[in-house]
Amino acid sequence: MSIKTKWIIATTVIILIILGFIFYLNNKSTVDGNIRIGAIFILSGDAAGWGENAKKGFDLAVKDFKETYDIGVETIIEDSQGDPKTAISVFQKLITLDKVDGVVGPLFQAEVAAVASNIASANIPVITPSYAPIINRDNPRNPLMVWMDPSLEAYKIAEYVFDQGVRTVAVFGTHDSWENEVSDSFASRFKELGGIISTKELTQTDDTDVRVPIIKIINTKPEAVFLGTYYQFIHATKVLNEFGYEGKLYSIEVDSYLATEAKDYIEGLEFITPESYSNNFIEKFEREYGIKPGIPAGQAYDATILLLDLLRQEGPREKIIKTMENLESYEGVSGAIEWTKDNRTILPTAIFKIQDGEFIK
């Protein structure tokens, strides 16, 4: 064998070793050092309360994980501002500049849908306390959803409203993809049961004046109004009150921020939301922050603990993502989470009523 041939072989071997080492660094689970985990939350804008609750759950989960395992955790938290384009930008930063091992978030459906293709191409495990339709996810289990499928949740509240003897309902929502799905699913299920949808009014998420659609709703004289919206919840309840609407009010997922801001307009409103968190989590959260946990603190906690638990185990990213694809259930602080064969997420839910400013289950 000639000296030239030997040099070619040696050079090729060295190149292969270097490439293999680079692949290992990019794909290994960081068991022998710190786990670097990113998070994308809404920390500014109208939905900042939702994001702050999630961040508190995330921070508490990291603290608990570090106390349980002798593994360091480095966190990088980014603010998406509730904007899909910003969510894409900060996600790219997390994986290219910060080189995180996994990501928790983002929080809103439109953000998750926008980032989904980037998650697939980055080949990085992502778990989110949010939801996006399967059609918007390249891999229906990455990002892994730790949030109730809104269609199933809307079906449940529709069945509850019908069981209360209500037969005519007006639906109010927005053109946001999640809220549109909630409104459509509620209306569809209520009609299947034999009820009447007197009108369904959808507005833009950033409209400041919703009087026209609310007047249309009142003119149909419904027994009840279903609010399939977070964005326009405060405006809608205020205008309904201003125009003297006296029928029943139902909604989906009311948090402490909405309840506080709309407290003068929503006495007696009933809504469906993931069931109360475990007592242990509520007590721990109150000790840490001095307040009760609001949604989605528990779901963010579960998403974070689950992701960190996967990352602490030996193996490449492909193995972690495969594990996510095969998960059937997880017992978290937000209850028994199930992932069905058709990739829907199911959590325990409950009906709550607002009475004297309190949430009564």
Looking at domain 35-147+277-347, its CATH superfamily turns out to be: Response regulator (3.40.50.2300)
CA 248, CA 5: separation in Å to the nearest integer? 85
Q: Bridge-partner residues for 75, per DSSP?
A: 37
Domain range summary for the chain, segments of one domain joined by +: 35-147+277-347, 150-252
Among residues 129, 175, 119, 47, which one has the least CA distance to residue 307? 129
**What are residue 246's phi and psi, to 5 degrees?**
-120, 5
Q: At residue 30, does pLDDT exceed 70? A: no
Give the model confidence (pLDDT) of 38-71 as tens digits: 999 999 987 898 899 999 999 999 999 999 998 9
pLDDT for 249: 98
pLDDT for 248: 98
8-state DSSP, 227: E
Does pTM top 0.85 for this prediction?
no
CA 354, CA 158: separation in Å to the nearest integer? 18
In the CATH scheme, what architecture does the domain 150-252 have?
A: 3-Layer(aba) Sandwich (3.40)
Domains 35-147+277-347 and 150-252 belong to one CATH topology:
yes
pLDDT bucket at 5, cuts 50 / 70 / 90: low
> Can you spell out the DSSP letters for 135-204?
GG-SBTTBSEE-S--HHHHHHHHHHHHHHTT--EEEEEEESSHHHHHHHHHHHHHHHHTT-EEEEEEEE-
Give the model confidence (pLDDT) of 191-209 as tens digits: 999 999 999 999 998 899 9
Q: At residue 171, does pLDDT exceed 50? A: yes
pLDDT bucket at 276, cuts 50 / 70 / 90: confident
CA 207, CA 227: separation in Å to the nearest integer? 16
pLDDT bucket at 257, cuts 50 / 70 / 90: confident
Q: Bridge-partner residues for 251, per DSSP?
A: 227, 271
CA 191, CA 198: separation in Å to the nearest integer? 10
Q: What is the mean pLDDT of residues 132-148?
A: 89
CA distances from 171 to 133, 236, 252, 254 (A): 21, 11, 12, 16
Tokens 């603990």 — which residue? 305
Q: What percent of the chain has pLDDT over 90?
A: 76
pLDDT for 2: 57
Lowest mean pLDDT of 18-22, 205-209, 242-246, name the range: 18-22
